[in-house]
């Protein structure tokens, strides 16, 4: 009888260890899943905040791009005004005292000779 009792006690101790170890593994898995969920939530918050900041930067850069395009258009208009033939003739006549030569002052050269 003593051997049977010992066997039963050892069997119960083994099952107790197994269930407590199984309980430990189950608790560890739950703890691990909770940690993973918390890390996932924090990562989601970080990514959303980063996305919001990058979108604000994108909008600011779009506004700067629009302003630069307007400025470039103004520069093209100004370049057109400054390079107009009439403007060049007026500046040449007034500032450099240049005149359009008369037909008698024009000499034609023959490049074949």
Q: What mean pLDDT is reported for the chain?
A: 84
Per-residue confidence band for 12, with pLDDT thresholds at 50, 70 and 90: low
Q: Please indicate, yes or no, if residue 113 is contained in any of the structural domains.
A: no
* Distance of alpha carbon 102 from alpha carbon 43, whole angstroms: 82
Q: Please indicate, yes or no, if residue 50 is contained in any of the structural domains.
A: yes
Q: Please indicate, yes or no, if residue 45 is contained in any of the structural domains.
A: yes
Per-residue confidence band for 18, with pLDDT thresholds at 50, 70 and 90: very low
* Highest mean pLDDT (candidates 49-53, 73-77, 95-99): 49-53
Between 1 and 60, the more confident residue is: 60
Q: Residues for the chain: how many in total?
A: 113
Domain count, the chain: 1
Q: Please indicate, yes or no, if residue 56 is contained in any of the structural domains.
A: yes
CA geometry: angle 71, 81, 98, nearest 5 deg: 145
Between 106 and 25, the more confident residue is: 106
Supply 19's token pair: 């269930």
Radius of gyration of the chain (CA): 45
- Provide the domain limits for residue 22: 2-96
pLDDT at 11 over 50: yes
User: Which pLDDT value is given to residue 7?
Assistant: 65
* Highest mean pLDDT (candidates 24-33, 34-43, 74-83): 34-43
């Amino acid at each position: 009888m003593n051997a049977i009792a010992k066997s039963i006690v050892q069997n119960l101790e083994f099952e107790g260890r197994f269930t407590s170890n199984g309980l430990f593994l189950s608790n560890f898995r739950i703890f691990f899943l909770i940690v993973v969920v918390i890390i996932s939530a924090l990562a989601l918050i970080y990514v959303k905040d980063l996305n919001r900041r990058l979108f604000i930067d994108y909008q600011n850069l779009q506004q700067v791009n629009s302003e630069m395009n307007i400025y470039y258009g103004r520069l093209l208009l100004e370049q057109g005004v400054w390079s107009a033939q009439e403007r060049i003739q007026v500046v040449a006549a007034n500032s450099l005292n240049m005149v359009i030569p008369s037909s008698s002052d024009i000499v034609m050269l023959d490049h074949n000779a």
